[in-house]
Every structure is written in C-alpha cells, then in structure tokens.
Amino acid sequence: MNGLDYLDLLKNHIDITRVPFSDRGSRLLVFRYPQLSGLYVKLAERLTQLESDIEAYLHRPPFIQGLYLTDQDGAELDFEMDTSPSVITFHTRIGDFYLTFQDERSLSFGYPPDVRAGMRFRVFPQYWKSTPQGGKFMSVRNVTYSTTGVLERNQITPVEGGYEVDILVSSGQDCAVTISIQPSQQPEQIIKPFSMALQAAQQRWKNWFGRVPPVQPQYQRTYAYAWWVMANNLISPQGMVTMEAMAPSKLNYVGLWLWDNALHALAYRHIDADLARNQIRSMLAHQLPNGMLPDAVFDDGVVASIDHPITGEVTKPPILAWSALKLHETDPDLQFLQEIYVPLVRLNAWWFSMNDDDGDGLAQYNHPYSSGLDDSPLWDEGMPVESPDLNTYLHNQMICLAQIADKLNMQTEAAMWRRRAASLVQRMIQDFWDPEAGLFWALRDEKPVRVVTPFNLLPLWTGSLPQEITVPLLNHLTNPREFWGAYCLPTVARTDRHYDPETMWRGPVWANVNYFFIEALQKVGKGDLAAE
C-alpha cells in the first residue's frame, strides 16, 4: 500500500467528537460538539503559569468555543461531516467548507467559491480568577484571524471572560479564513490560499504514510489508525520539551513519559530514525545530577517527585538502553550510542545505589508510579517493594550496556556488565523464586506479595533461567485460566482475587507487556508461542 491508500482507509474513521483533529507538532486540538454543527478548540499545553497544579489543564475549558459557520444573514449552518487526517469537509446547504492546518499554529478554513458566508466563535485569551487578596488577569495565548477574501463584517463583542467574533466574508475563489494561536506576538503571517494549505497538508500525510512498513491486509485499517495517532500526537519543542516528541495523549497526558518515550522510539525507528533517537534524547536531556531520570517532562517543568498516592521520587522502569539498541539494529549509529552510554551508566548506578535499602543487590520500587503499573495490586500493601520485573529490566539494561560497550570497543566494560547481569539473575532466583508456586514473588519487608501477575513471570525475559524454572513459568503463562487465551496477557491473573478487567493495571491487556513477553518467548526458544 502507498500513502494515499492508508489515507483512504482513514476516511471517516476519525471521530472528532472523541479524539482531536490535529497535526504533527501542533498544540491545537479541534473537536466537534456531539449532536451539534459546531466546533471548539483546546490547547495541548498545561500552562502552569496560570495554575500551579500540573493537572489543572484537564479541567480547563476550551480556548475557542462555539465556532459555527454562518450564512450571509448570520444563521448557523448545519453540516454533515467527512473526516480524514489532512482535512475535514463540512457539507452545508450553501456548499462545502473545509478545515486543514496551514501550519502547526494555524487553522485554515476553506470557503465555497463566490459565496457570502461567515464564521462566529468565542475566544478566551485571558485567564482570570479572584484571590483572597483581590484577583489576577494573565494572558493565555495570542489569537489572530484573517482571510484572503473580502471582509464585509468584522464584529468583536465582549462576553463574560472573553470575546465573541462575528465575521462575514465574500469568498471569491480559493478563499481561506485562518485562525492562528501563538504563545507570543508573531510577525504578520502570510495567509495562504486554501488550496495551497490543503495541498501541503495532504503531502505531509502522504509522506508520513508512505514510509510505514507493510502489514497484512486484515490489519491495515487499525494499523493506519495507529500510525495516524503516532503523528497526530507529536508535539513541537517548547520550554522543557526540547525536541519533537510524542505525548501519550494531547488531551489527557500532555507531556513526555519516560518509558512511553522508549516504546514510542520502537515504532518511529521504522519510519524516521532521527525522530526515534529524539524520543530518547528528550528524556536524557533532563537527567538529574544523581543519575535519576524524571518520570515525565512537560513544557513548564519535569516530574521527578509526586505527592500521591504517597510522597516520593518518581521515575519509570529502565528500558531506554534496550530501546536504543533495538533502534541501532535497524539504523546503526555509533555516535548516538556513544552520546547516550554514560547517561545510561549513570542511570543504572542510581537504581542500585538509591533504591536498595537493605543492600542485598536487588533494586526496589519506592513509589508505585515508578513501576509504570500505577494501581497494580502489587503495591496495595505499601512501598518499597523489591520486584522481579524491575530487576529483570535492570538485567536487560546491563546486557544492553554490554552490547553497546562492545560496539564502542570497550570490551573490559562489556565483560563487567555481563558478570553483573548474571549475578543479578542468581540474586533473583535466591530471593524471589518459589519452586512450589512456580513464580517469582515480589517482596515487601522480605515477605512475599502474593498477587499473581505477568510480572511474576517476567524473569523469563532474561533468557538465563535453568529449565527447572523456565518450565513452570511457561506453564503459568500458557494456562488459559490465568493468562493465555483469545486476549492475553491480563495484567493480573484471572484466577487472582484482585483481578479487575475494568481497572488499568489490575486486569486489562497492555501492548507493551505483550511485547516484552513476545521477546521473552523468543529468547527461550518458544517462537511458536510468541507468534500466537
């Protein structure tokens, strides 16, 4: 399939009442009101200078509200809508209108030829609130609207908290009405005729989909949607976000998360190796002096500690070295490996020096969120917890560091990393392995946390376990009452009393967990199970 074929598959497959119409790098999110012929625009920005609560943006109202296309008399136009990655088409009684991105900060509306038609919207460019001492007003973002047509009416009316804009345009040919939202005052922008903006947007998306690897026909539509998300969720550099990177959601998770970025790099390596490398760089750029990497990075700061559900430092599992090495397999770059090697060594040292209270050589999670398994029942009894999954990640990290050291001609260091990795496996067997249960238990205060999850089986991924351990782990993994079946692997065994398929890490299936186990099964010679 070519890029155009994937675009065709996505026609009307994007529901903008639920997910935003956006563009690569853009912070503008366009939604349709359910059951109404109107739009609103939210910002993919936390804007903590307005409210210090880093989650306040989740409840902030749209920046532009009540955006309606109107006829020459100012009556709102009902529309039927077609969606695609590059353009939204609005079918109205006076002709077809269109919406695309002129650039990442500018929306471009295309008008039917030779009509008198308008637009009405409310914009809220200031933030204000009362305080015990008085009140405050702050600028949110700057807004510019303009047209290539003839502007016949241009009314701006103050409304509570903002302004209502009402314009009427004589469209002529190839008319565009643009709305630009900028973080600062910008030089006067050149407004492109709509056809130019649309052609550029279509070419951007065609180029994007033209690079994706092939997939079997039965998966093509879902595959195309996934690659659309991978582009649509990219945010441009701003503030502490130093490189173009993917937010898990431009609506609800605006920022970069440590292991999310590592996993995003696995996908991007297939179409743009530099973009993949930048997912890793954008997290290493904020390494703390002690070697720790923060949990998350957003425009206005980093999240390296948090006060809920307990107070503590917060990070994510150490999988960057593994991700970087997989990227190197598809696009070798020794200079990049040299760039990241020392930061990854420092990260490894932090895990063992600052997260091993009893000094037994097994690292612990000090905060539930550092596991990436936020609400897993593994943490119900409290923290810290020495966990087999964390120590498996660390084993794999040291094996990857050994391979990187080999490639950089540092054979002595490579041998050291392999010795340490082998020693860690033996420590896990000694402290975590329960031959009667056939599981590796997590430990809280040296006592087993008797919750059965795939993470009790994850040491399979080391590829270094003896058969007498590998076999019972595989028996658990392939037991359809526990983990196997049409939808594997649940994040808590179906037979465990904590299993809840409706709660994030207490039952639902996650793609990254399955990916880890696919690789684990391949390592232990079970390629048939991995394929299944």
- Domain membership of residue 349 (yes or no) is no
> Which one-letter DSSP state was computed for residue 315?
-
What CATH number is attached to the domain comprising 421?
A: 1.50.10.10
Query: Which positions ≥6 away from 447 have C-beta within 8 Å?
Result: none
**pLDDT tens digits for range 276-313:** 999 999 999 999 999 999 999 999 999 999 999 999 99
- Domain membership of residue 254 (yes or no) is no
- Domain membership of residue 513 (yes or no) is yes
Report whether 162 contacts 126 (CB < 8 A).
yes
Measured CA distances, 393 to 103, 294, 348 (Å): 40, 17, 10
The overall average pLDDT reported for the chain is: 96
**pLDDT tens digits for range 214-257:** 999 999 999 999 999 999 999 999 999 999 999 999 999 999 99
From 170, 198, 226, the end of a domain falls on 198
The Cα 377–Cα 279 span in angstroms is: 30
Q: Side chain identity at 95, as an amino acid letter?
A: G
Q: What is the DSSP string of 104-121?
A: TTEEEEE--TT-EEEEEE
Give the pLDDT confidence score for residue 187 in this predicted structure.
Answer: 67
Look at residues 239, 238, 259 and name the one whose alpha carbon lies nearest to residue 248.
259
What CATH number is attached to the domain comprising 177?
A: 2.70.98
Helix ranges, 307-387 (H): 320-330, 334-354
Q: How many CA atoms lie within 13 A of 372 on its CB side?
A: 20
From 147, 173, 198, the end of a domain falls on 198
* H or E element, residue 40: strand 39-43
- Domain membership of residue 52 (yes or no) is yes
- Domain membership of residue 327 (yes or no) is no
- Domain membership of residue 268 (yes or no) is no
From 181, 198, 215, the end of a domain falls on 198
- Bridge-partner residues for 158, per DSSP? 163
**pLDDT tens digits for range 413-445:** 999 999 999 999 999 999 999 999 999 999 999
369 lies in which domain range? 355-532
Q: Side chain identity at 417, as an amino acid letter?
A: W
> Which one-letter DSSP state was computed for residue 216?
-
Q: What is the total count of domains within the chain? A: 2
- Domain membership of residue 211 (yes or no) is no
- Domain membership of residue 312 (yes or no) is no
